[in-house]
Amino acid sequence: NAGVMQNPRHLVRRRGQEARLRCSPMKGHSHVYWYRQLPEEGLKFMVYLQKENIIDESGMPKERFSAEFPKEGPSILRIQQVVRGDSAAYFCASSERSYTGELFFGEGSRLTVL
Amino acid sequence: SQQGEEDPQALSIQEGENATMNCSYKTSINNLQWYRQNSGRGLVHLILIRSNEREKHSGRLRVTLDTSKKSSSLLITASRAADTASYFCATVPPTSGTYKYIFGTGTRLKVLA
Protein backbone atom coordinates (compact mmCIF):
# COMPACT_ATOMS: atom_id res chain seq x y z
CA ASN A 1 0.00 0.00 0.00
CA ALA A 2 2.07 2.87 -1.32
CA GLY A 3 2.02 6.14 0.56
CA VAL A 4 1.90 9.62 -0.91
CA MET A 5 4.49 9.84 -3.67
CA GLN A 6 6.16 13.09 -4.56
CA ASN A 7 8.65 13.72 -7.30
CA PRO A 8 11.14 14.97 -7.89
CA ARG A 9 12.60 14.88 -4.38
CA HIS A 10 15.13 17.53 -5.33
CA LEU A 11 14.87 20.07 -8.12
CA VAL A 12 17.32 22.79 -9.12
CA ARG A 13 16.18 25.58 -11.38
CA ARG A 14 17.68 28.84 -12.56
CA ARG A 15 15.77 32.07 -12.13
CA GLY A 16 13.09 32.41 -14.78
CA GLN A 17 12.66 28.69 -15.40
CA GLU A 18 9.59 26.64 -14.58
CA ALA A 19 9.25 24.10 -11.79
CA ARG A 20 6.72 21.26 -11.87
CA LEU A 21 6.15 19.25 -8.74
CA ARG A 22 4.08 16.09 -8.84
CA CYS A 23 2.09 14.35 -6.15
CA SER A 24 0.31 11.01 -6.29
CA PRO A 25 -2.03 10.66 -3.32
CA MET A 26 -2.62 7.46 -1.44
CA LYS A 27 -4.94 5.01 -3.15
CA GLY A 28 -8.55 5.92 -2.48
CA HIS A 29 -7.76 9.48 -1.39
CA SER A 30 -9.45 12.24 -3.34
CA HIS A 31 -8.32 15.23 -1.27
CA VAL A 32 -4.91 16.79 -1.86
CA TYR A 33 -3.21 19.62 -0.01
CA TRP A 34 -0.01 21.46 -0.90
CA TYR A 35 2.15 23.11 1.75
CA ARG A 36 5.37 25.07 1.61
CA GLN A 37 8.05 24.94 4.29
CA LEU A 38 11.07 27.16 4.73
CA PRO A 39 14.02 25.88 6.83
CA GLU A 40 13.29 25.82 10.57
CA GLU A 41 9.73 27.03 9.99
CA GLY A 42 6.26 25.55 10.01
CA LEU A 43 4.12 24.59 7.05
CA LYS A 44 2.28 27.28 5.14
CA PHE A 45 -0.95 26.22 3.46
CA MET A 46 -1.02 26.83 -0.28
CA VAL A 47 -3.92 25.02 -1.91
CA TYR A 48 -6.53 22.32 -1.32
CA LEU A 49 -7.89 20.32 -4.23
CA GLN A 50 -10.33 17.55 -4.87
CA LYS A 51 -10.42 15.62 -8.09
CA GLU A 52 -10.69 18.15 -10.94
CA ASN A 53 -11.56 21.00 -8.54
CA ILE A 54 -9.64 23.65 -6.67
CA ILE A 55 -11.47 24.06 -3.37
CA ASP A 56 -9.28 26.60 -1.60
CA GLU A 57 -6.28 28.38 -3.11
CA SER A 58 -6.16 31.20 -0.60
CA GLY A 59 -2.56 30.45 0.37
CA MET A 60 -1.16 30.40 -3.12
CA PRO A 61 0.35 33.52 -4.73
CA LYS A 62 -1.90 34.70 -7.54
CA GLU A 63 0.93 35.09 -9.98
CA ARG A 64 3.27 32.39 -11.25
CA PHE A 65 1.75 29.60 -9.12
CA SER A 66 -0.91 27.16 -10.25
CA ALA A 67 -2.16 23.76 -9.15
CA GLU A 68 -4.29 21.05 -10.65
CA PHE A 69 -5.58 17.62 -9.75
CA PRO A 70 -6.88 15.99 -12.94
CA LYS A 71 -9.29 13.10 -13.12
CA GLU A 72 -6.43 10.85 -14.12
CA GLY A 73 -2.88 11.28 -12.96
CA PRO A 74 -1.06 13.09 -10.18
CA SER A 75 -1.66 16.52 -8.75
CA ILE A 76 0.73 19.11 -10.16
CA LEU A 77 2.05 22.26 -8.50
CA ARG A 78 3.50 24.52 -11.16
CA ILE A 79 5.71 27.51 -10.50
CA GLN A 80 6.49 29.67 -13.51
CA GLN A 81 9.44 32.06 -13.81
CA VAL A 82 10.93 30.94 -10.50
CA VAL A 83 12.74 33.41 -8.27
CA ARG A 84 15.20 32.77 -5.45
CA GLY A 85 12.44 33.30 -2.88
CA ASP A 86 10.64 30.23 -4.22
CA SER A 87 13.41 28.02 -2.81
CA ALA A 88 11.71 25.84 -0.21
CA ALA A 89 10.42 22.38 0.51
CA TYR A 90 6.98 21.72 -0.96
CA PHE A 91 4.91 19.05 0.71
CA CYS A 92 1.86 17.31 -0.58
CA ALA A 93 -0.63 15.59 1.70
CA SER A 94 -3.72 13.55 0.97
CA SER A 95 -6.74 12.52 2.97
CA GLU A 96 -9.66 10.23 2.53
CA ARG A 97 -12.14 12.78 3.85
CA SER A 98 -11.98 16.51 4.20
CA TYR A 99 -11.49 18.18 7.61
CA THR A 100 -12.08 15.20 9.82
CA GLY A 101 -9.27 12.85 9.06
CA GLU A 102 -5.55 12.70 9.36
CA LEU A 103 -3.31 13.89 6.59
CA PHE A 104 -0.80 11.58 4.96
CA PHE A 105 2.30 13.41 3.78
CA GLY A 106 4.79 12.75 1.07
CA GLU A 107 8.51 13.19 1.64
CA GLY A 108 8.49 16.57 -0.05
CA SER A 109 10.11 18.18 -3.07
CA ARG A 110 13.01 20.47 -2.32
CA LEU A 111 13.30 23.28 -4.83
CA THR A 112 16.50 25.26 -5.10
CA VAL A 113 16.54 28.32 -7.33
CA LEU A 114 19.98 29.48 -8.42
CA SER B 1 -2.07 34.77 10.82
CA GLN B 2 -0.86 31.41 12.06
CA GLN B 3 -3.60 29.45 13.79
CA GLY B 4 -1.33 27.34 15.96
CA GLU B 5 1.64 28.44 17.97
CA GLU B 6 3.76 25.84 19.71
CA ASP B 7 5.66 26.45 22.87
CA PRO B 8 8.54 26.06 23.51
CA GLN B 9 10.19 26.56 20.13
CA ALA B 10 12.98 24.22 21.12
CA LEU B 11 13.37 21.65 23.89
CA SER B 12 16.37 19.58 24.88
CA ILE B 13 16.01 16.73 27.39
CA GLN B 14 17.78 13.58 28.53
CA GLU B 15 16.65 10.16 27.41
CA GLY B 16 14.06 8.77 29.81
CA GLU B 17 12.67 12.18 30.76
CA ASN B 18 9.22 13.40 29.76
CA ALA B 19 8.74 16.05 27.12
CA THR B 20 5.82 18.45 27.15
CA MET B 21 4.97 20.83 24.36
CA ASN B 22 2.04 23.18 24.07
CA CYS B 23 -0.08 24.53 21.25
CA SER B 24 -2.32 27.58 21.33
CA TYR B 25 -4.82 28.47 18.67
CA LYS B 26 -7.10 31.38 17.95
CA THR B 27 -10.47 30.19 16.66
CA SER B 28 -12.86 27.35 17.37
CA ILE B 29 -11.92 24.02 15.88
CA ASN B 30 -13.36 20.76 14.63
CA ASN B 31 -10.38 18.79 15.85
CA LEU B 32 -6.71 19.22 16.66
CA GLN B 33 -3.95 16.94 15.46
CA TRP B 34 -0.29 16.46 16.30
CA TYR B 35 2.35 15.54 13.75
CA ARG B 36 6.03 14.66 13.92
CA GLN B 37 8.64 15.59 11.34
CA ASN B 38 12.06 14.03 11.31
CA SER B 39 14.78 16.12 9.73
CA GLY B 40 14.46 16.21 5.95
CA ARG B 41 11.33 14.05 5.93
CA GLY B 42 7.59 14.48 5.58
CA LEU B 43 5.19 14.83 8.48
CA VAL B 44 3.73 11.80 10.21
CA HIS B 45 0.40 11.90 11.99
CA LEU B 46 0.59 11.07 15.70
CA ILE B 47 -2.78 11.63 17.27
CA LEU B 48 -6.11 13.39 16.72
CA ILE B 49 -8.29 14.82 19.46
CA ARG B 50 -11.81 16.01 18.77
CA SER B 51 -13.22 19.25 20.12
CA ASN B 52 -15.50 17.38 22.55
CA GLU B 53 -12.64 15.32 24.00
CA ARG B 54 -10.38 16.45 26.83
CA GLU B 55 -7.66 13.84 26.85
CA LYS B 56 -6.39 11.07 24.64
CA HIS B 57 -3.63 8.49 24.93
CA SER B 58 -1.66 6.56 22.36
CA GLY B 59 1.28 4.53 23.59
CA ARG B 60 3.74 6.95 25.19
CA LEU B 61 1.77 9.95 23.95
CA ARG B 62 -0.81 11.86 25.94
CA VAL B 63 -2.70 14.77 24.46
CA THR B 64 -4.95 17.18 26.31
CA LEU B 65 -7.29 19.76 24.89
CA ASP B 66 -8.76 22.77 26.67
CA THR B 67 -11.18 24.49 24.31
CA SER B 68 -11.94 27.23 26.84
CA LYS B 69 -8.29 28.26 26.77
CA LYS B 70 -7.83 27.29 23.11
CA SER B 71 -4.81 25.22 23.94
CA SER B 72 -3.51 21.68 23.70
CA SER B 73 -0.52 19.89 25.10
CA LEU B 74 1.43 16.88 23.91
CA LEU B 75 3.28 14.81 26.50
CA ILE B 76 5.84 12.21 25.44
CA THR B 77 6.74 9.97 28.35
CA ALA B 78 10.03 8.11 28.81
CA SER B 79 11.56 9.82 25.81
CA ARG B 80 14.02 8.08 23.52
CA ALA B 81 16.72 9.39 21.19
CA ALA B 82 14.46 8.35 18.30
CA ASP B 83 11.88 10.91 19.48
CA THR B 84 14.22 13.67 18.32
CA ALA B 85 12.15 15.55 15.75
CA SER B 86 9.98 18.62 15.24
CA TYR B 87 6.42 18.41 16.50
CA PHE B 88 3.55 20.39 15.01
CA CYS B 89 -0.05 20.90 15.98
CA ALA B 90 -2.63 21.30 13.24
CA THR B 91 -6.14 22.64 13.49
CA VAL B 92 -9.02 22.95 11.10
CA PRO B 93 -10.94 26.13 11.81
CA PRO B 94 -14.64 25.77 10.97
CA THR B 95 -14.74 28.72 8.59
CA SER B 96 -17.33 28.36 5.92
CA GLY B 97 -16.41 26.41 2.86
CA THR B 98 -12.82 25.70 3.64
CA TYR B 99 -11.19 22.85 5.41
CA LYS B 100 -7.56 23.75 5.28
CA TYR B 101 -5.41 22.39 8.06
CA ILE B 102 -3.39 25.16 9.71
CA PHE B 103 -0.06 24.14 11.18
CA GLY B 104 1.75 25.77 14.03
CA THR B 105 5.36 26.86 14.05
CA GLY B 106 6.58 23.66 15.69
CA THR B 107 8.62 22.56 18.67
CA ARG B 108 12.07 21.15 17.93
CA LEU B 109 12.72 18.36 20.41
CA LYS B 110 16.18 16.97 20.98
CA VAL B 111 16.54 13.89 23.17
CA LEU B 112 20.08 13.30 24.36
CA ALA B 113 21.25 9.73 24.85
pLDDT band at B98 (very low <50, low <70, confident <90, very high): low
Residue B7, pLDDT above cutoff 90:
no
Mean of pLDDT over chain B:
90
The whole-angstrom distance between A83's CA and the closest CA on chain B is 22
> Which run of H or of E encompasses A102?
none
Residues of B in contact with A101 (CB under 8 A): 48
Strands A109-113 and B43-50: unpaired
- At A101 the pLDDT is 77
Residues of A in contact with B88 (CB under 8 A): 42-43
Residue B4, pLDDT above cutoff 80:
no
Taking the Cβ of residue A99 and every Cβ of chain B, the question of whether any pair is shorter than 8 Å is answered with: yes
Q: How far apart are CA A4 and CA B113, in angstroms?
A: 32
- Residue to test with chain A: of B37, B99, B108, most A Cβ within 10 A: B99
Residue B2, pLDDT above cutoff 50:
no
Nearest by CB to B99, which of A42, A99, A107? A99
For range B70-94, the mean pLDDT:
93
Dmax over CA atoms of chain A, in Å, equals 40
- Using one digit for the tens of pLDDT, what is the confidence trace for A56-71? 899 999 999 999 999 9
- Using one digit for the tens of pLDDT, what is the confidence trace for A17-48? 999 999 999 998 989 999 999 887 889 999 99
More confident residue, B30 or A12: A12
- Residue to test with chain A: of B38, B103, B108, most A Cβ within 10 A: B103
Nearest by CB to B103, which of A43, A100, A101? A43
Q: Pseudo-torsion of CA B38, B43, B46, B51, nearest 10°?
A: 140
Residue B96, pLDDT above cutoff 70:
no
